[in-house]
Amino acid sequence: MNPQLIIFDLDGTLLDTLDDLSAAVNFAMQQKGFPQHTREEYRMMVGHGARNLMTKALPAEHRNDEELVDEVLADFRTYYNTHIDVFTKPFSGIPELLAELHRKGTKLAVASNKFQEGTEHLIKEFFPNIPFVAILGNRPGYPLKPDPEVVEEVLRKAGLQKENAPLSPGRGAGGEVLVGDSDTDMETAANGGIRGIAVGWGYRNMEGIQGLTVARSVEELQKILLPDNK
């Protein structure tokens, strides 16, 4: 494939952030006396931004209470901002993959639904030597994935013209690719007119989806992205 630009999702793709997210949401639930959840339960809740995560974590009868959602979201942010990297770490092999892609001249970017400051903090902490062309998180006034605006913004920041991207996922031999661990990521790629590749080590089971390329390991992902690597 040898794509010229690869956009990576963050949580569940580059970094295992689930333990720190789980602890922060449970702290917010505890502050209000609500039931807490397990790591595996949070696995199915993450990926659509912090507000959506807090809404899902609340008991069903409270999810429409916007004032309450604001309050638990504030508690979550207070805790998470100071505990964002207690357990978080890159998935095995990811730092080496990014370094090799950079060495080969591939442009790299990050597109996440995590809040912007947290996205930047984690990328700079764990991948300080990778010159990403864009690091985009959840920002006021910008839509979340799967809206295609994030793809279009990355292409602009990378100096690529939108019309150079394939018109549908999988069309062409390279170009631009989005790598992620969820259906949201694959929808983002499709909506943005670029190819999507799912990873098998993330927070969603992407196996068995017709027509979808799934890399079950970092080594397999590298072979897909750099088939001619020597």
Q: Are residues 126 and 157 in the same domain?
A: yes
Q: Are residues 9 and 103 in the same domain?
A: yes
Q: Are residues 196 and 150 in the same domain?
A: yes
pLDDT, tens only, 72-100? 999 999 999 999 999 999 999 999 999 99
How much is the average pLDDT of 157-164? 71
Q: Are residues 131 and 41 in the same domain?
A: no
| 85 contacts 122 by C-beta, under 8 angstroms | yes
Q: Are residues 25 and 93 in the same domain?
A: no
Residue-level pLDDT at 133: 97
Tell me if 202 is assigned to some domain. yes
Q: Are residues 12 and 27 in the same domain?
A: no
Supply the range of the domain harboring residue 55. 18-82
Residue-level pLDDT at 230: 59
How much is the average pLDDT of 170-199? 86
Tell me if 230 is assigned to some domain. no
Is pLDDT above 60 for 162?
Answer: no
CATH number at residue 40: 1.10.150
pLDDT, tens only, 6-29? 999 999 999 999 999 999 999 999
Q: Are strands 89-90 and 15-16 parallel, antiparallel or unpaired?
A: antiparallel
Q: Are residues 98 and 197 in the same domain?
A: yes
Q: Are residues 206 and 156 in the same domain?
A: yes
State the average pLDDT for the chain.
Answer: 91
Residue-level pLDDT at 211: 75
Q: Are residues 155 and 57 in the same domain?
A: no
Q: Are residues 11 and 30 in the same domain?
A: no
Count of domains observed in the chain: 2
